[in-house]
Homo-oligomer: A and B are copies of this chain.
């Protein structure tokens, strides 16, 4: 905080806390959406999938609310340096979390096409891949709330596991397609489900870079998360 006044300081802190709480709320909804979309996929729950699609509106509304509050905060409190970086990070992170919700919605929309899918090995791998990607989202938003740059770096490191899952599922699905040409349509939808989960991991990594910058004022070295350890 650059302001000298204790009153202004308190007001800014309250505002940024509310902003962080909104982002946490969005993160909780996005995690739940991914989890539910995967459950509906495995259980062939068409009604549940429809709810996931409908519930995405809540995330859209919260993103608009976050932007409104962030812009108001900048206009009213004129934050500087680290505080301003925090507000800008909140603004950008809410956009990324909203897109993570879009991936959940996209997975849920594929459930009807996969209602009669037979035994395909990736159906048992995808939920585990989703679990890792979701945990990345959860942990990176915790890192944002705690302004913990180190925790953000650790989240990036885990993206390799998601990428490995993706490569493995991609190969398995192609083999399955060649051996069972009549299931190609369903397998193609599962390819996109895997791709969506891989993108969730990428987006968690993007958020980690934003958290790192907000907390430190420097940009995380390109690919740091992939080379450390």
**Interface flags, A70-97, vs B, CB<8A=1, else 0:** 1100110010100011001001100100
In the complex, what distance in Å separates the CA atom of A170 from the CA atom of B188? 9
Min CB–CB distance A219 → chain B (angstroms): 7
Q: Which of B92, B181, B184, B222 is close to A92, meaning CB atoms less than 8 Å apart?
A: B92
List the B residue with the shortest CB-CB distance to A182. B178
Q: A185 to chain B: which residues have CB within 8 Å? A: 174
Contact with B along A158-197 (1 / 0, CB 8 A): 0000000000001000100110011011001001100100
- The verdict on A74 contacting B67 (CB below 8 Å), with A91-B91, A184-B178, A188-B174 known, is no
The distance in angstroms between the C-alpha atoms of A106 and B185, with both chains bound, is: 23
Per the CB 8 Å criterion, the residue count for chain A at the interface is 29
Q: How many copies does the complex hold?
A: 2
- A178 to B, closest residue via Cβ: B181
Closest to A175 in B: B184
Closest to A195 in B: B192
Asked if A64 CB lies within 8 Å of chain B CBs, one says yes
Measured in the bound complex, the distance between the Cα atoms of B191 and A178 in whole Å is 16
Residues on B with C-beta less than 8 A from A78 are 75, 78
Instruction: Count chain B CB atoms within 10 A of each CB in A170, A177, A219 and give the residue with the most.
Output: A177
Additional A-B contact list (7), CB under 8 Å, known A75-B84, A174-B188, A195-B195: A67-B88, A74-B84, A91-B91, A91-B92, A92-B95, A177-B188, A192-B195
Instruction: Kindly list the 10 A-B residue pairs having the minimum CB-CB distance in the complex, ordered from nearest.
Output: A178-B181, A177-B184, A181-B181, A178-B184, A174-B185, A174-B184, A78-B78, A74-B74, A71-B88, A75-B80
